[in-house]
Structure 1
């Protein structure tokens, strides 16, 4: 009678795959959820009043609040998108007007229907899209304060904090509503309401948190059921390349710059150091000490530099005297004078005048000073 032993059979490759695939699937789901969460929650950089930017100077918070209130917001990246979305019942918000430098672009925007809201416009933009306005005599600084007007959007918002804003006034007889000292104005012309505000910070993500800024931004941007947000982040032009820095510089300035370049080049050529041919000589050159002293003395005399010569003589004398007197190199004048007077028997005031006195008035006094210094050194050495 034979017995069959028990045999341990391990899992096959298919069984291992069935067990592992659920683990891999779970890991894939976790990674995917993490990537999606990071995409939607990570800060999104962008330019000033960029509707997609979550940075402090972006406008993502205002766009989100408007959509939550039921406003149909169209984020227009260029003028073509603005033209495609423009309707008579649409509010067009034009911001970041620094990039609107092409008159043809401004003319296309000016021909569109609907109300307009210009946010801190440049002069060319204000003249093209709000021709009945001009810059006021002053500006609003240190906030915005109370509205002081009957404009419904401003009255509901109350006090705001602009920080600093341009002020506007009427350029003709068109009736104008001025709020916050002229920082916010509105007039009606050609069947449309044109609103201009001289500050843009109150609409940014960081500016909404101040006082009544959020209420004013929502009231101004949410007047119509449909709104176009146009804050160009690049310069549009006829060639889609935009104006360069040289295009913005007047021709007179360009010629002036070229003239300055020519003048500087001529001045440099005139002042440049002329380097002559190399001089061949034997090295080292031995120069006697007496010749060096005599040459330096003649140089001092030619420049009448008696003060420099006297300083050199006194400094050399003190450098030789202080070790013999047992004094340090930084000993003060009083200590040196006392020590020299004790060794030589010379009056202390005379020693002070000789070693630390004023510079000599003429060559005779300079020669006399040299003799006195030599006399003091000789007496100290012999004492």
Structure 2
């Protein structure tokens, strides 16, 4: 008979499970390390230098190909330093206070404001925000604004406004409003999703963005600054909680995760299937009784031994004399005395009397109990 010597799946797992678990731990460590690496950062929405889906790198490159200079700035001071006569694009008004926005409003030239009601009264005083917003979706311009009519449908919505020229309307107000200002034309957009890398190629999004931002030879693109906005959760000096956190905390979290994984593997190992084994010998009941008797004798437990003998005799005699289980002491003694013809006091002392004083008394008690039980069984 031939026997297969090829390894099975179970044998391969038992042989290599240590290395498999070790490799898994190394992979998890690498993933957590990459996630906690200092270079990892969140996507910056509408940032002309961000290539993620939320960024606007694609739009910035299209503007540059059309000869438009795109300057990315992240502070009011840098925007003011670029000078006047340029188109100013503000993507996050909530990150600047009123004094900074007032300085920004002094710049002469066209400006485009994307979303946010903060500072709208300073940067676009002739445009009124509505209390309701609209779902961002593909919308038709439905207006006479040349930039919107040439682009056609676009992915717009969000906050709604009222002004001189309103396009892409919602139920109350428009998602794009353009009005003349003191230093130039002011355009307010309820949402800037159509300018992101993810949606720029859909509908007329690219055309609308180029028509709005390509009217001047240069664009000052004001993005969200690195510090959190006024009123946000921050520590001393404007630093965020993440910046205040010690550098060792991420590694401590990583070590804790590894410890949990190792502990889970250690405690979760299977001990193997239950195996039923036969007893090496068969012990007879008589030997068990004899062994228990020797234990009683060694501990001089005459009271306990007598109680066990009496309880067993009463349990066996009660049904034979016609009594129900749990019958009282007097009933049992009277019935057994009548059945055996023995003296009731002698029967009561044997069944319910005090414990024997010595081993001889215990032997005598056992013999008498066996005697009355045999008489009841025979009659």
- Superposition TM-score, scaled by structure 1 size: 0.47
Larger Rg: 2
- Superposition TM-score, scaled by structure 2 size: 0.48
